[in-house]
Structure 1
Amino acid sequence: METEFEREHEVKILVVDDEERIRRLLRMYLEREKYTVVEAENGEEALQLATEDDYDLILLDLMMPGMDGIQVLQELRTVKATPVAILTAKGEEANRVQGFEEGTDDYIVKPFSPREVILRVKALLRRTSSTRYLQTDTQAKNILVFDAISIDHDAHRVTVKGEEVALTPKEYELLYYLASSPDKVFSREKLLKDVWKYEFFGDLRTVDTHVKRLREKLNSISTDAGDMITTVWGIGYKFENVKQKQ
């Protein structure tokens, strides 16, 4: 089913894979959904395209000669929060874990079915569509306001002291999940299960890495905001509405 975002916006997707057969297959699936598809056959080309233009989503092969998917993701995350879904073989679980730690938003296991690809793409687009393109409804009621952070869930927009923070979809989901229950402590296992939303037997460091990256982005504007995500040693994390420092 076509989403409102897809009806109002030309969706542009970058497909990265060193196998022409895979790129051609993905292009066929995606173009049936009326998406605009751009291809890259290696990591270097992908990184150049991804940094020079804006995409709604990047489908990124994990294992490529030269610059692999993890290296592309690492470089990309230093400059952009573009949603990324990694394409990976079943036997690459350790690499998938590393992918989550570096900031991927999802992964699609090869060999994949057309239906799964489209469903995962649409799910990511739904979660991220309003971050850059939809205007904020000033009458929206789905807003969390704290001393240093404001989270407009209808627009998927986070502002710290009036300045918007560019978060990846997973960083946003993690922040919103914690902030929706202030002062409640969540274990790493609980966060991994609820924020990642599907069965994933991964390293709990995935959660720690995302929390670390989220804090860094908030702290870059205000330490008051970064301090709101509190570590509860031996258990997990909580969102604490600390007062602004004098």
Structure 2
Amino acid sequence: MKQRILVVEDEVQIAKVLKIELEYEDYEVHIEHDGLSGLENALGENYNLILLDVMLPKLSGIEVLRRLRKAGSHTPVILLTARNTTLDKVMGLDLGANDYVTKPFEIEELLARVRSSIRYHSSIISWQADRNEQPKISIKDLSVNTETREVTRSGESISLTPKEYDLLVYLLHHKNKIVTREGILTNVWGYEFEGETNVIDVYIRHLRKKLEDDSSDPLIQTVRGVGYTMKEK
């Protein structure tokens, strides 16, 4: 069965090019040209991925994303943003976007990110099915429910962005082992990352702040020159 992608893009020519390129890669593609119809379609149909423009008529892409996540949708979303809209990128990631691509974009980069997002989302679902176990993973007093994406420590709920959550789950799946920076980039970001090289340090710092705060029992340990680890003891 073909993987299905929803493209919500008001620029007709861009939407047409995306449809041609994605269908050439053997995806099934549906197009919507405004935020309201895009939201309705996203909530009414099952998709493997949504390509969502930020600047849309009737309902902005950011608002579409907010309502999708509020409705409980975990479908991967890649935002299509203008080059200088840093605030939109940050807000989008905080609201639950899985990735973003700036316009004008190289189609090969976009396709790589599409493959990455779909692959990672599928791997999480497959991992749960293959292990045939309770959807909870934990270490010490930290617990993650991979079905509801709820993260708690000592019973207190912790709010994470999608990428912070993905990073935490990857670390937990490899607890008591050392994971390299290269392994994190490949498996969490899922493509040949070409952004700032300190992106992992930034996300680790955010995770530590949210998970550990003033705790005297740190969960994430740095292995200098190699990577990171989470140990039971």
Give the TM bin, normalised by the shorter chain.
0.5 to 0.7
Which piece of structure 1 moves more, 33-42 or 170-179? 170-179
Aligned to 1:56: 48
Distance 2:29 2:143 in 1: 35
Letter matched to residue 96 of structure 1: K
Structure 2 gap segments, 5+ residues each: 151-160, 179-183, 221-229
- Which of 66, 69, 75 aligns to 2:67? It is 75
1:161-206 Cα shifts (integer Å, max 9, x gaps): xxx3258863541322443457x9xxxxxx99x9656525999xx9
Residues 200 and 61 of structure 1: is their aligned pair in 2 closer, same or farther, counting only changes over 3 Å?
Answer: farther
1:38-64 Cα shifts (integer Å, max 9, x gaps): 111111011101111111000000112
Aligned to 2:83: 90
Aligned to 2:38: 46
Distance 1:31 1:134 in 2: 28
Aligned to 1:224: none
Structure 1 gap segments, 5+ residues each: 1-8, 152-157, 185-190, 216-228
1:143-174 Cα shifts (integer Å, max 9, x gaps): 965478787xxxxxx55xxxx32588635413
Distance 1:125 1:42 in 2: 23
Q: TM-score, normalised by structure 2?
A: 0.66
CA RMSD of aligned residues (A): 4.1
Letter matched to residue 107 of structure 1: Y
1:1-246 aligned within 5 A: 9-79=1-71, 80-132=73-125, 136-138=129-131, 146=139, 158-159=145-146, 164-166=147-149, 170=163, 172-179=165-172, 180-181=174-175, 199=195, 229-232=211-214, 238=219
Distance 2:107 2:4 in 1: 18
Number of aligned residue pairs: give it. 195
User: Shift in Å at residue 98 of structure 1?
Assistant: 1.3
Letter matched to residue 124 of structure 1: S
Letter matched to residue 7 of structure 2: V
Say whether the 8 Å CA contact 2:4–2:28 is kept in structure 1.
yes
Residues 71 and 56 of structure 1: is their aligned pair in 2 closer, same or farther, counting only changes over 3 Å?
Answer: same
Letter matched to residue 212 of structure 2: T
Q: Give structure 1 regions of 4+ aligned residues with deviation exceeding 2 angstroms.
A: 130-140, 143-151, 164-172, 177-182, 194-203, 229-233, 237-242
1:120-153 Cα shifts (integer Å, max 9, x gaps): 111111111134467722499xx965478787xx
